[in-house]
Amino acid sequence: MDMDRTVRIIGAPMDYGANRRGVDMGPSAIRYADLADRLAEANAEPVDDGDLAMPRAEERDPDAAQPTDGNAKFLREVEDVCRRVSDRVAATIADGEFPLVLGGDHSVAIGSLAGSARETDLGAIWFDAHADINTPETSPSGNVHGMPLAAALGHGSFGETEWAPAPRLQASSIAYVGLRSIDDRERELLRESELTVFTMSDIDQRGVSSVVEDALAVATDGTDGVHVSLDLDWLDPKTAPGVGTPVRGGVTYREAHAALETLSKRDRADDVLRSMDVVEVNPILDEGNETATLAAELTASAFGKRIF
């Protein structure tokens, strides 16, 4: 990426989709960790768009807009935010800039994907401990941050909406990297789908760079660009303690950087990255802003920052 590539930072401090408060402070914490300076060091030009305004969860009724079947808390609020994220992402791309969405919980990715796939056949790489493919009908919790890929693909009752599905995103162009916590019903859904799954066992056996190269092959096959979704609970909680749904056995600090550096290397060669979101940093649960700092560092690695 050259310095003439502008990265527009879009804050989406949403915590409607999570089950623990505090993730709404994630965008501020990542900015405080010198995100803009780190992007500049990676030869990207950061422009901060500020945060989307949204009411506090305490002011809203989580059950006010439940689907006919199933459970999806704060669905009306999630829809409102994701519509605005989608519009902001699409407008940023139309202006020739790169949208970087800072969450907030992972449900913001519904908007990121919808906006990025509005005019382009899109692939996606999902760095996450969780599959995020529950629907309102299958979710054990009703928390929408466990549903963004189901929403983007129009599964379950999301298929009856016009705001959730990403218009030009296909399951065959999505690759998970580092899954290690999958609900029983999600496991069935994954086996029935065309999504590509690389678990932590794949990383253990083959190394993270090789796995990410294969994920890129999936996400770039027949598409015009790739969305990267980075959930900080992808990392081991000893490395990234400030997340709401930690799962032991995640990637290490260096594995995470190697993964994002592999993305950057491919992007420098073929200009494949189109959009990105960084989600689930919860400063209340963090230790010395360690997780937010890691989020800023990893984002810079995706944009080309190297040790040497």
Question: At CA 56, angle to CA 54 and CA 58, rounded to 5?
Answer: 150
Burial class (CB in 10 A: 0-12, 13-18, 19+), 43: middle
Of the residues 15, 77, 236, 280, only one is catalytic, namely 280
Residue 145 annotated in active site: yes
Of the residues 130, 155, 227, 257, only one is catalytic, namely 130
Residue 227 annotated in active site: no
Of the residues 80, 105, 128, 255, only one is catalytic, namely 128
Residue 132 annotated in active site: yes
Of the residues 231, 255, 267, 286, only one is catalytic, namely 231
Residue 277 annotated in active site: no
Of the residues 145, 155, 227, 257, only one is catalytic, namely 145
Residue 59 annotated in active site: no
Write the CB contacts of 104 (distance below 8 Å, at least 6 apart in sequence).
11, 12, 13, 14, 15, 23, 24, 26, 27, 279
Alpha-carbon gap, residue 47 to 191, rounded angstroms: 41
Half-sphere exposure of 95 (CA within 13 A, CB side): 15
Q: Contact, 235 vs 250, CB < 8 A?
A: yes
Q: Is the peptide bond before 304 cis (omega within 30 degrees of 0)?
A: no
Residue 155 annotated in active site: no
Alpha-carbon gap, residue 202 to 112, rounded angstroms: 27
Residue 257 annotated in active site: no
Of the residues 51, 132, 186, 255, only one is catalytic, namely 132
Tokens of 267: 């992007």
Alpha-carbon gap, residue 282 to 15, rounded angstroms: 10
Tokens of 15: 């915590």
Of the residues 79, 80, 106, 286, only one is catalytic, namely 106
Of the residues 24, 233, 277, 297, only one is catalytic, namely 233
Residue 106 annotated in active site: yes
Q: Which residues are catalytic?
A: 106, 128, 130, 132, 145, 231, 233, 280
